[in-house]
Amino acid sequence: MSITYSSSTKISADQAINLYIRSTLGERRPIHNRQAFENMFQHANLIVSAWDEDKLVGISRTLTDFSYVAYLSDLAVDVQYQKQGIGKQLIEQTKLHLEEGCMLVLLAAPKAREYYGPLGFEQHPSAWTLKKASK
């Protein structure tokens, strides 16, 4: 198995939804709202994908200014491909697109909290989140 990575391959909403379901990230994303997925991918600044031939097996989706901060909003790897370094490589490929010194931040899902520490991420207890912005 040879995994290839791309930051230029177009990913359809259907491909993304299918992967999110296969990665368990679908538990926390609007997989039943195709329009939301189209918007998520249309408005992201940086998407890196992992492919096993023509099968999408991983995604890193980032919102960023490329200079100061990048928010890694989604890191999804097909459960059948996990524990093979694909998630780590997706993060490394994402970092290659950012200027040196740009912070990469994320909100870890409860199941993934132990994953990020060994990759160099630090947990910050002072983070604040607004669940849903109101107009």
What residue spans define the domains of the chain?
Answer: 3-119
The pLDDT score that the predictor gives to residue 129 is 66
Biggest CA pair distance of the chain: 48
Mean pLDDT to the nearest integer, 83-103: 95
Better-predicted residue by pLDDT, 133 or 53: 53
Nearest-angstrom CA–CA distance, 114 and 56: 25
Residues in the chain: 135
CATH class of 3-119: alpha beta
Its sign, for the CA torsion 112, 116, 49, 100, is: positive
Report the 10 Å Cβ neighbour count for 134. 4
pLDDT band at 26 (very low <50, low <70, confident <90, very high): confident
Chain-wide mean pLDDT for the chain? 89
The pLDDT score that the predictor gives to residue 108 is 76
Q: What is the pLDDT of residues 39-67, one digit of tens each?
A: 999 999 999 999 999 999 999 999 999 99
Beta-bridge partner residues of 58: 50, 77
Whether 132 shows a pLDDT value over 70: the answer reads: no
Cα Rg for the chain, rounded, in angstroms?
A: 15
Q: What is the pLDDT of residues 95-119, one digit of tens each?
A: 999 999 999 998 877 777 777 778 8
Contacts of 130 (CB under 8 A, 6+ apart): none
